[in-house]
């Protein structure tokens, strides 16, 4: 029986990983066509597009794995059913429960693998992808230190101590140098606002330095003709989708200690916790479907069913999550309800088929 368990688990794993590669290739193809629109902006070329795709692939793989598990297991188990291998296994003494347990074992392996990708590889890779593309298209070099966010724009160095959002900055210092690398202008603004086209500095103090002398002036607001790209700040603005479960947990603690609450962050955290179980549930969904369809059902039909169910669950999960945010629902419920619902339906169908 152990041999049969390993055989079924191996086939399910193989089918799921092949489906993941196929889906990821399709998604990367569509992403590639989108990225072509940004080609030749700055130094962003074909080579950079492929580098960018390689950096975003771990996140895409993590998000596609549940659907790929469903699709792969439908094709694999359906193939075993069509070849009458499942019937032979049952004739040899393997119960349906034993077959289901073999599928669950494969799901547990995929769940652990999914957790590893989602926790340790996808978040830092996604952040690097955002920084890489912004630096290539805007030709800007950015870094972060304990002294804030630093950016170089040709002969201008910018230090930003506060990043409140993509469109609002605080405590900004700007240092402009001449061709001989001598400081010629130093400015400090309390705040900067992006109106969609340009930045506007608020409460700014400007110091002009020339021939060993300095003169100062103050202004209420000044248009800032910087090519600082708001999307470059994505690297340093907290984006829940780009954080691991551990990082989200630490951020939630920080918010709680400061008397703040962010349902979006909490929903992202519980979504990270639930996601590995989604892969397991998607495998369970395939079991009653294979038992329901006749052995003559074509591979194409199974693929269509898998795509429809996988896409339907993905849309429902996202819609319900947004519904939970709008109605300030408990984030645990908002993140887990779709998965629990599908799990309950799958188990009910499995028990009815026994």
Model confidence over 39-89: pLDDT tens digits? 877 778 899 999 999 999 999 999 889 988 888 888 887 777 776 766 677
Do 122 and 250 reside in the same domain of the chain? yes
Q: Of 164, 197, 228, which one is at a domain's C-terminal end?
A: 228
Instruction: Work out the average pLDDT over 211-216.
Output: 81
- Domain extent at residue 322: 2-138+241-353
Query: What token pair was written down for 241?
Result: 């989708």
233 in any annotated domain: no
From the list 235, 201, 242, 193, the residue with the least C-alpha distance to 218 is: 201
In a domain, 71, yes or no: yes
**236 within some domain:** no
pLDDT-derived band at 33 (thresholds 50, 70, 90) equals: very high
Domain boundary among 165, 193, 228: 228
* In a shared domain, residues 128 and 157: no
pLDDT band at 90 (very low <50, low <70, confident <90, very high): low
pLDDT higher at 232 or 84: 84
pLDDT, position 61: 93
Q: Quick one: pLDDT at residue 137?
A: 76
Q: Which residue has the higher pLDDT, 167 or 232?
A: 167
Please check whether residues 329 and 267 belong to one and the same domain: yes
Has residue 303 got a pLDDT over 90?
Answer: no
- Regarding whether 290 and 246 lie in a shared domain, the answer is yes
Last residue of a domain, one of 198, 228, 258: 228
Of 164 and 175, which is predicted with more confidence?
Answer: 175
Name which of 73, 134, 79, 105 is nearest 1 in CA terms: 105
Look at residue 235 and tell me if it is in a domain.
Answer: no
Whether residue 146 sits in one domain with residue 114: no
Do 18 and 134 fall into the same domain?
yes
User: What is the b/e burial string over 189-227, where b = at least 16 CB atoms within 10 angstroms of the residue's CB?
Assistant: bebbbbeeeebebeebebeeeeeeeeeeeeeeebebebe
What local confidence, expressed as pLDDT, does residue 141 receive? Answer: 56
pLDDT at 276: 87
pLDDT at 306 over 80: no
Q: How far is CA 316 from the centre of its chain?
A: 18
Does the residue 171 lie in any domain?
yes
Least confident of 42-56, 189-203, 287-301: 287-301
**pTM, whole model, 2 decimals?**
0.74
Enter the tokens of residue 227. 């090519």
Residues 257 and 319 in one domain: yes
Q: Let me know if residue 125 belongs to a domain.
A: yes
* Antiparallel, parallel or unpaired: β 168-177 and 183-194: antiparallel
- Binned at pLDDT 50, 70 and 90, residue 180 comes out as confident
User: Do 121 and 259 sit in the same domain of this protein?
Assistant: yes
Does residue 230 or residue 12 have the better pLDDT? 12
pLDDT digits (tens, 9 = 90+) for 239-261: 777 788 888 888 788 777 767 67
Say yes or no to pLDDT of 98 above 70. Answer: yes
Note whether 250 and 348 are same-domain residues: yes
Q: Is residue 293 part of a domain?
A: yes
Residue 234 lies in a domain: no
234 pLDDT above the threshold of 70: no
Highest mean pLDDT among 125-134, 144-153, 232-241: 125-134
Q: Are residues 15 and 129 in the same domain?
A: yes
Residues 22 and 161 in one domain: no
Q: What is the pLDDT of residue 339?
A: 92
Domain match, 43 and 129 both: yes
Domains in the chain, number = 2
């Amino acid at each position: 029986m152990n041999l049969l368990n390993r055989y079924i688990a191996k086939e399910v794993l193989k089918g799921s990983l092949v489906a993941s590669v196929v889906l990821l290739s399709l998604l990367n193809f569509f992403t590639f066509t989108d990225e072509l629109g940004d080609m030749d902006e700055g130094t962003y070329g074909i080579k950079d597009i492929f580098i960018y795709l390689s950096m975003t692939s771990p996140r895409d793989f993590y998000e596609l794995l549940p659907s790929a598990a469903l699709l792969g297991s439908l094709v694999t188990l359906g193939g075993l059913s069509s070849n009458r291998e499942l019937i032979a296994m049952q004739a040899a003494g393997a119960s349906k429960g034993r077959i289901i347990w073999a599928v669950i074992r494969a799901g547990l392996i995929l769940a652990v693998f999914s957790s590893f990708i989602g926790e340790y590889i996808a978040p830092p890779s996604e952040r690097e992808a955002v920084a890489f593309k912004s630096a290539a298209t805007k030709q800007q070099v950015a870094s972060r230190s304990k002294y804030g966010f630093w950016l170089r724009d040709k002969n201008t160095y910018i230090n930003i101590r506060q990043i409140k959002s993509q469109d609002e900055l605080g405590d900004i210092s700007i240092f402009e140098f001449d061709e001989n690398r001598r400081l010629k202008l130093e400015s400090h603004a309390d705040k900067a606002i992006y109106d969609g086209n340009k930045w506007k500095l608020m409460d700014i103090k400007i110091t002009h330095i020339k021939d060993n002398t300095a003169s100062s002036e103050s202004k209420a607001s000044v248009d800032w003709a910087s090519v600082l790209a708001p999307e470059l700040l994505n690297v340093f603005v907290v984006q829940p989708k780009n954080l691991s479960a551990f990082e989200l947990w630490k951020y939630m603690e920080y918010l709680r200690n400061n008397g703040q609450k962010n349902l979006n962050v909490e929903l992202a955290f519980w979504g990270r916790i639930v996601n590995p179980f989604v892969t397991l549930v998607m495998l369970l969904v395939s079991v009653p479907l294979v038992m329901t369809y006749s052995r003559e059902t074509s591979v194409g039909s199974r693929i269509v069913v898998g795509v429809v169910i996988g896409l339907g669950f993905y849309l429902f999960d996202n819609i319900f999550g947004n519904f939970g945010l709008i109605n300030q629902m408990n984030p645990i419920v908002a993140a887990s309800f779709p998965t629990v619902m599908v799990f309950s339906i799958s188990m009910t169908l499995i028990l009815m088929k026994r």
